[in-house]
Structure formats: C-alpha cells, structure tokens
Amino acid sequence: MIEIVIAKFLGYGVFWDSGLRNRFRRNLRSWLSRGRRVLWSCTVTALPKAVGERLVEQRISIFGIDLFARRWRRPKYRVGLLVDEFFGGWDTAIGGYGALARKYICRFIPDDALQIDVLLNVQGGSGVGSKVVDQTVLYRLPFEVWDRQSWLEKQAYNLFISIEMTEPSFRILESFTSNVPLLYWIQDPRELNMYQSRLRSMRRVRDDDWNYLNEVSDWIKKLLERNQIFFISQGNSLSAIARQLYNLPSDVRIKDVANPIEIDDEYIFDEARSPNKIVFLGRLEAQKRAWIFCEIAKAMPQFEFFVIGATGVGRNEGGNAKALEAYRNLDGSSKIKNLHFTGHLDGNAKNDYIRSAKILVNTSIWEGIPVSWLEALSYGTLIVSSFDRDFIVTRFGTFVGEIMGDGVDESYINLFVDAINYWMTNDAERKVIGMKAINYVRERHSIENFVDTMRSEIYNVIP
C-alpha cells in the first residue's frame, strides 16, 4: 500500500528514536488511509436478501461519486465467527468456547448456502494470517485498524457470530465500521460486581479481571440503538445476568439455544461402573480451583479420584502449575495415592472415564453452564458442585452451596465429603436421578436440536 511506503520513508526524516518513529508512522498511515478513502474508495457490500439472494455489490468511487458498480451472486452466505480459541487448532487454547466452535458450530452448521470463517484475534504486522483446520479457515487479522477495516470490507460478511465476547474478539469488532449484524451467543456473562467479588476472594492464583467488559457494555448499547445486535443464550440464569450486565431492555429478545453435545443414543444406564471412581473434568486454571478436588481426595482415601484436564495455552501456566505443586510431581504424577492426573483427554478416552464414574465433582468459583456437566449427565453420572446454573446441579446431584476464596478449609471440604458419601452409598436413588439426567440431556442438548435452532436463527437475522 502506498501509505505504508510514505509512512516508512517520512518516519526516518522526522524521528531518530525508534519508539517515536513507529508511533509517528502508525498515525501517519491512519491519516493517509483516511485521506485515500475520501479521494478514492473500493468497497464490497453484502446486499439484503430483499434485493437478491446472496448478492454482493462492489463500488468504486472518487470524491464520493460512484464511477463503477457491479453485483454478483455468491454461492454461499458468509459468516464470521469470533472466538479466540479453536480447541487446540492453530496453537490455540483448549476450552469450552473453542470446543463449541470446532466440534459443533463449524462442523455441523455450514450447509449448501452457508460458509463460516473463524476470526481468532489481532496479530502483529499488516498482513492477514490464515490456516485451514478441519475444513474451516481460521484468520488472524492485522494490527493496524485501517488494514483490518479494509480486509473485513472485502470479505463482505453477511453476519458476525460471537461466542460471548472475549477481549480479542472485541478488539476486532469495536474498530470495524459497518452495518453487518452481530448474533451474540451468551455463554458466560461476567457481571463485574458478581464476578470480581468472587475472583478477588482467592489467594493461590487468579484469572484476569475482564475489566474491558465496561467497554463492551457501552459498545453493545450503540449496536442496540442501530438494531444491529441479536441475542441467543444457553440458559435462563445467564440471560438474566446478561440483561443486567448490558442494560438490555425487557423487550429485547433473547432466544434460547442450548449448547450441544455428542450423545450416545444407544447408551442404557446400568451399574457397570467403578464402585469407587470420581472424576474432575476441566482446565487446570484458577477459576476451576482443582486443588479443592485434590483436598477432597486426601480426605476420602477409600475412593479413587481422577483429574481430567490440563492448563490452557497462554493462560498463566506457571501460576496454575504452582497452585497444584502440593499434589502433583514435576512429571505430572500424583503425590497422593488415590489421586490421578490423566492430562487432557478427548473423545472416547474422556467418555470412558465419565461413563464409568459415579460422580463428577465441580469446584469452580464461577461457571456458565459447563459442557462437562452435560457430558456427565448424558451418561447418568451425577454432579456435586459448589456452583449451580438453571438448577441443573440441584436437579441432578448436590449443590453444596457457593464457596468463596480458595475453599480449602476443612468445613468446606466436608461439604463435598458428605455429598459424595451420600451418592456413593445410595445406588438406587442415584440410578433414578441418573436416568432422568440422561433423558434431560437427550431432549435439550442433542446436536439435531442445536442445528435446527441455530441455522434458523442465523437465517432469520441475516438482513
């Protein structure tokens, strides 16, 4: 681009200090880009369905006067999915949002008329990075705002979808001036007073504060005023938090779209379970407080405890490893005889542990509606947890009550011990509740239901 050449050339003549020189170049590039867009512009826009199915229009103008315009029909609607991880794809973290993106949205939602790209984050430099993972194109966008604006305009997306709104996703959209609608999937809205009061009570290790959400709220308000944002949610309790967090008027519709999971429809609840097996499934990070599970294992030597999970890439690996060093050796083995660390597992390997356990224990200080809960319930494995959403734990296990701080006091550990002892020794009641859990998951969280609902919502909100 001509402005890059000009900015580099002039930068040497103005500043010898590299920091000042680079700042001058960035500002100059922005000014030149704006000036160029006034003098000459080439835009590609997705047209409303009322004009024509999957039509896009290219316009070239000088001084705001159109000189050339042409339209053509694309084979598919183009959707940009904003999520900062892809379940390990392209060296991203392994987490719930990435699992939703990779295992379900990008795998099942595209059809003959719908293409989904993944927009991961903003990278350094002026270029766009791309990589194909599982037949989905992943993009890392350029650092400079005007480079991103130009690239996004050329993509001419019909719709953006965001899984909640992480900071990398927000940084991509906040600077993009367009009328492209956003379908916002509420997954884990962290209202700051609620979330930070819990976060700050912890001492061993903490996750980030999510302070940027104040900016997100103001930005969402502007999108609402332009009728440019639409909401779906995986749970009623989360919708209520989102309404408070984003100051959503009561007449703003939030469509119920439950998270999908892969369900073994042939599975029949039986007693072919280990009589003493208990599992923990999740990232080994501050929010999950896996050390509580380790303390429970110490207090219950008659049972076998399995930790399934690993620390996410780029997520304070050092701090999270230190928080577990009292229980785990450097080679990953356990210092406690009845406690086992399996590392990250997926697919059948993970399901074998869940299916053969009687209880899944959740020790998090905060949760949305974890996929791990749904996966456990799909096999009739009950939940003992210090957090609940939509009364899922209350209905299908034991909610021991919220536990603030690090949660390692004996009185807190005993709450888990009592609940675990109850379910491990009451097989008849556990079977009744387990069968209800299986039916609940099959009715609400099947992939078929998800695909029908999600596709319908996408086509409804594309202009």
pLDDT of amino acid 144? 83
7 or 452: whose pLDDT is higher? 452
pLDDT of amino acid 122? 93
pLDDT digits (tens, 9 = 90+) for 433-452: 999 999 999 999 999 999 99
Whether residue 201 sits in one domain with residue 339? no
* Whole-number Å distance between alpha carbons of 451 and 262: 12
Whether residue 125 sits in one domain with residue 13? no
* Whole-number Å distance between alpha carbons of 135 and 119: 15
Whether residue 243 sits in one domain with residue 357? no
In a domain, 104, yes or no: yes
Q: What percent of the chain has a predicted confidence (pLDDT) above 70?
A: 88
Whether residue 152 sits in one domain with residue 15? no
Mean pLDDT of 445-460: 97
Question: Taking a C-beta distance cutoff of 8 angstroms, is the pair 163, 109 a contact?
Answer: no
Whether residue 166 sits in one domain with residue 146? yes
pLDDT of amino acid 20? 67
pLDDT of amino acid 396? 98
* Whole-number Å distance between alpha carbons of 240 and 250: 10
pLDDT digits (tens, 9 = 90+) for 34-75: 555 556 567 788 999 889 899 888 887 776 677 768 998 999
290-299 and 410-424 helices cross at what angle (nearest 10)?
70
Name 254's Cβ contacts closer than 8 Å, sequence gap at least 6.
Answer: 186, 231, 232, 233, 239, 242, 243, 248
The CA radius of gyration of the chain, in Å to the nearest whole number, is 25
Whether residue 391 sits in one domain with residue 350? yes
pLDDT of amino acid 94? 86
Whether residue 143 sits in one domain with residue 230? yes
DSSP output for 210-240: -TTHHHHHHHHHHHHHTT-EEEEES-HHHHH
Whether residue 288 sits in one domain with residue 171? no
The answer, yes or no, to whether residue 394 has pLDDT greater than 90, is: yes
pLDDT of amino acid 361? 98
In a domain, 271, yes or no: no
Lowest mean pLDDT among 206-220, 229-243, 295-309, 352-366: 206-220
The answer, yes or no, to whether residue 239 has pLDDT greater than 90, is: yes
pTM for the model: 0.87
Q: What average pLDDT does the chain have?
A: 89
Mean pLDDT of 349-376: 96
* Whole-number Å distance between alpha carbons of 93 and 131: 16
In a domain, 265, yes or no: no
Strand partners, 66: 61
pLDDT of amino acid 311? 84
pLDDT of amino acid 100? 96
Count of domains observed in the chain: 3
> How far are the Cα atoms of 2, 98, 206, 386, 454 from residue 315, in angstroms, in the given order?
39, 14, 11, 23, 30
Question: Taking a C-beta distance cutoff of 8 angstroms, is the pair 356, 378 a contact?
Answer: no
**Residue 109 pLDDT level (bands cut at 50, 70, 90):** very high
The answer, yes or no, to whether residue 412 has pLDDT greater than 80, is: yes
The sign of the dihedral angle between the CA atoms of 111, 113, 117, 118 is negative
pLDDT digits (tens, 9 = 90+) for 267-283: 988 767 888 999 999 98
Mean pLDDT of 93-110: 95
Whether residue 328 sits in one domain with residue 434? yes
pLDDT of amino acid 392? 98
Range of the domain at 42: 2-70
pLDDT of amino acid 28? 58
* Whole-number Å distance between alpha carbons of 463 and 459: 9
Structural domain ending residue among the three candidates 21, 44, 70: 70
Q: What percent of the chain has a predicted confidence (pLDDT) above 90?
A: 69
pLDDT digits (tens, 9 = 90+) for 132-156: 999 999 999 998 888 888 899 999 9
Count of residues making up the chain: 463
Whether residue 100 sits in one domain with residue 241? yes
* Largest CA-CA distance found in the chain, in angstroms, rounded: 82
Mean pLDDT of 423-441: 96
Whether residue 424 sits in one domain with residue 349? yes
Question: The domain that contains 236 carries what CATH number?
Answer: 3.40.50.2000
**Residue 8 pLDDT level (bands cut at 50, 70, 90):** low
Residue with tokens 């229009």: 57
In a domain, 171, yes or no: yes
Whether residue 231 sits in one domain with residue 316? no
